[in-house]
């Protein structure tokens, strides 16, 4: 059974966390009605999608309860997916609150809102709108330059796109090369010894950062790791297990 816990209203750390989750697993787009040659733009839509697991459902329900916007959707049992969807003015109001915290999709969010106000009473060719969607999403970055990311944003991003490997004792982040600016900001905020790794593939270029929790990274565990853990919601248990394994590794044995 999922327990609903109300968040405090007007909490900026929640806005930053939600922005990280939207940058990772969220979708911002215009809904349209297409004919063969033209598209009538209907509304702005924001959608969060996740696996139908207890912690994922609990987090999305909590966010839905906090913002009091949108609706929860459980498409069907076959896909095992849960969605939190916001449409129209609710989506615009929501983006207005969190867009300044977006690191990857900030400019895309602002362009989407601006295009909606410019074209909401007009039609556009299908080809032109499809091209705009592609170019807008590929041109990533925050609305305003950021020198450092926030730990709440990083926790939201890890909950969405990160993988926490308990056996390897590390957090693995992987994305498309178009998000390189965000990964450079992550690297800058974390500092050494973490670096961006490039993994070319047949379909696309992949970038990744591995945050290792080993004996050599004890300072990271006591500093940044704790700050990330404080804001994690979906994958908190996994990182707690990494902490436990790390502490067990550091504990002296009778042979020492």
Q: If you write DSSP's letter for every residue of 93-121 in order, what string do you get?
A: HHHHHHGGG-SSSHHHHHHHHHHHHHHTT
Distance CA 169, CA 77 (A): 33
R_g of the chain computed on alpha carbons: 20
pLDDT value of position 90: 94
What whole-number percentage of the chain has pLDDT above 90? 34
Bridge partners, 123 (sequence order): 40
Evaluate if residue 106 carries a pLDDT over 90: yes
Task: Reply yes or no: is the peptide bond before residue 193 cis, omega within 30 of 0.
Answer: yes
Mean pLDDT of the 153-163 span: 93
pLDDT tens-digit series, residues 6-41? 444 558 999 999 999 999 989 998 887 765 555 667
Most confident of the following: 40-44, 111-115, 120-124: 111-115
The pLDDT-based confidence of 255 (bands split at 50, 70, 90) is: very low
**Which range, of 40-44, 69-73, 219-223, 243-247, averages the lowest pLDDT?**
219-223
Higher pLDDT, 137 or 226: 226
Length in residues, the chain: 256
Average pLDDT over residues 66-95: 89
Task: Please state at what angle helix 106-119 crosses helix 126-138, rounded to 10 degrees.
Answer: 160
Query: Which region among 17-21, 114-118, 122-126 has the lowest average model confidence (pLDDT)?
Result: 122-126
Across all residues in the chain, what is the average pLDDT? Answer: 80
> In this predicted structure, what is the pLDDT of residue 23?
95
CB 4 within 8 A of CB 65: yes
Quick one: DSSP state of residue 67? Answer: H
Which strand ranges, in their side-by-side order, compose the sheet holding 205-212?
A: 163-165, 170-176, 205-212, 197-200
Give me 15's structure tokens.
Answer: 């806005």
User: Residues 187, 224: contact at Cβ < 8 Å?
Assistant: no
pLDDT of residue 254: 39
Q: Is 181 a residue whose pLDDT tops 70?
A: yes
Q: How far apart are the C-alpha atoms of 139 and 107, rounded to whole Å?
A: 8
Q: What pLDDT score was predicted for residue 237? A: 92
Using alpha carbons, select from 185, 36, 204, 212 the residue that is nearest to residue 104: 185
Report for 112-121, 193-202, 243-252: range of highest mean pLDDT: 112-121
Cα separation, 127 vs 13, in Å, equals 39
pLDDT value at residue 56 = 92
Beta strands in 88-204, from DSSP E residues, in sequence order: 123-125, 163-165, 170-176, 197-200
pLDDT of residue 156: 96
What's the confidence (pLDDT) of residue 252? 45
Q: What is the mean pLDDT of residues 183-192?
A: 80
Taking residues 163-168, report their average pLDDT: 87
């Amino acid at each position: 059974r999922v327990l609903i816990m109300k968040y405090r209203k007007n909490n900026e750390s929640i806005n930053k966390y939600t922005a990280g989750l939207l940058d990772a697993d969220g979708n911002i787009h215009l809904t349209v009605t297409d004919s063969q040659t033209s598209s009538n733009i209907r509304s702005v839509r924001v959608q969060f999608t996740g696996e139908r697991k207890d912690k994922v459902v609990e987090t999305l329900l909590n966010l839905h309860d906090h913002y009091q916007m949108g609706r929860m959707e459980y498409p069907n049992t076959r896909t095992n997916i849960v969605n939190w969807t916001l449409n129209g003015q609710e989506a615009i109001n929501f983006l207005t609150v969190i867009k300044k915290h977006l690191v990857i999709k900030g400019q895309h969010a602002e362009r989407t809102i601006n295009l909606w106000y410019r074209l909401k009473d007009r039609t556009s060719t299908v080809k032109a709108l499809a091209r705009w969607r592609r170019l807008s999403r590929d041109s990533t970055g925050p609305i305003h330059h950021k020198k450092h990311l926030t730990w709440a944003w990083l926790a939201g991003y890890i909950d969405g796109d990160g993988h926490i490997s308990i056996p390897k004792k590390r957090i693995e982040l992987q994305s498309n090369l178009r998000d390189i600016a965000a990964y450079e900001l992550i690297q800058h905020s974390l500092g050494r010894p973490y670096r961006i790794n490039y993994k070319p593939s047949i379909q696309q270029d992949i970038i990744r950062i591995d945050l290792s929790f080993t004996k050599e990274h004890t300072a990271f565990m006591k500093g940044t790791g704790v700050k990330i853990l404080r804001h994690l919601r979906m994958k908190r248990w996994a990182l707690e297990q990494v902490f436990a394994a790390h502490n067990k590794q550091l504990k002296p044995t009778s042979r020492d």
